[in-house]
Amino acid sequence: MHIFGLDFTSAPTHHKPITCAVCALEDGTLHVHDFTELTDFARFEAFLARPGPWVAGLDFPFGQPARLVRALGWGETWQDYVGVVAGMSKQAFVDMFKVYKDARPPGDKQHLRWTDELARSCSPMMLYGVPVGKMFFEGAPRLLTSGAQVVPCHMNGDSRMVVEAYPALVARKWAQHGYKSDTKKKQTVAHRDARQAIVTGLRAECRARYGFDLGLADAMAADFIADPSGDALDAVLCAVQAAWAYSQPDYGIPKDCDPVEGWIVDPDLVRDEGR
């Protein structure tokens, strides 16, 4: 099976592209073959349009908290409210979130999905710092328009399947500290050591953790460890989660998951299905 992992950004450029790991799951091994850079959204849309079957893990929230969707009267399904968002400008989207948050009491301004609570990820409403809200704005409508199967939000039977990935969940299995920095100047020995621990752990324990081996060339492993941005490494971590989801019944997603919100795929969350 063709497996892809995408390290997403809300504003792709040549300097900061969407990084895509090109992989294949064959005979119990996830082989990392190559990388491609999507420097604008036209290239991202072309990627989504490529013929299936394939599975891709994308590093942005596919959905918003059901509590928010209900409060804003956005409809009953993921398709309903993503269609609403698709008709908005980015500034209107940002302003709407600001108005909503300003009306909320302190400590209750940014909601979490169930999967965010379990994964210890930030709210998909966040617009600054790590602007995952803007990633949702740019990414989710394009997923809807593509016609791909968005697991578990939009199960339309298409052979192009996208799952929500969160590479930090993979990284935490071997590194408890940050492993990325904006520039080489800001990189510390601790960042590099953390990337070394992640790469070493993946190569030695991927089967124990995810059910398959990782086929990674020594030169690629060395590049991951040397690269302070961690973008290519994150893309591979997304591919690992996508390959795991593909190999699981129901993609490893609990039956009581709310498809309005979506779900981050990772075996650590399966063990925490109880609310």
Contacts of 260 (CB under 8 A, 6+ apart): 63, 66, 69, 76, 77, 78, 81, 153
Question: Which residue type does 10 have?
Answer: S
Q: Is residue 139 part of a domain?
A: yes
Please tell me the predicted confidence (pLDDT) of residue 181: 80
Tokens for 76? Answer: 């009953």
Q: Is residue 180 part of a domain?
A: no
The domain containing residue 27 runs over which residues? 1-166+233-268
Q: Is residue 194 part of a domain?
A: no
Contact 140, 74 (CB under 8 A): no
DSSP bridge partners of 19: 7, 37
Q: Is residue 273 part of a domain?
A: no
Q: Is residue 220 part of a domain?
A: no
What is d(CA 57, CA 249) in angstroms, rounded to the nearest whole number? 17
Mean pLDDT, the chain, rounded, equals 94
Taking the CB of residue 19, how many other CB atoms lie within 10 A of it? 25
What is d(CA 63, CA 263) in angstroms, rounded to the nearest whole number? 8
Please tell me the predicted confidence (pLDDT) of residue 180: 86
pLDDT digits (tens, 9 = 90+) for 79-124: 999 999 999 999 999 999 999 999 998 888 899 999 999 999 999 9
Q: Is residue 197 part of a domain?
A: no
pLDDT digits (tens, 9 = 90+) for 14-58: 999 999 999 999 999 999 999 999 999 999 999 999 999 999 999
pLDDT digits (tens, 9 = 90+) for 240-268: 999 999 999 999 999 999 999 999 999 99
pTM assigned to the model: 0.94
Number of domains in the chain: 1
What is d(CA 127, CA 135) in angstroms, rounded to the nearest whole number? 9
Q: Is residue 90 part of a domain?
A: yes
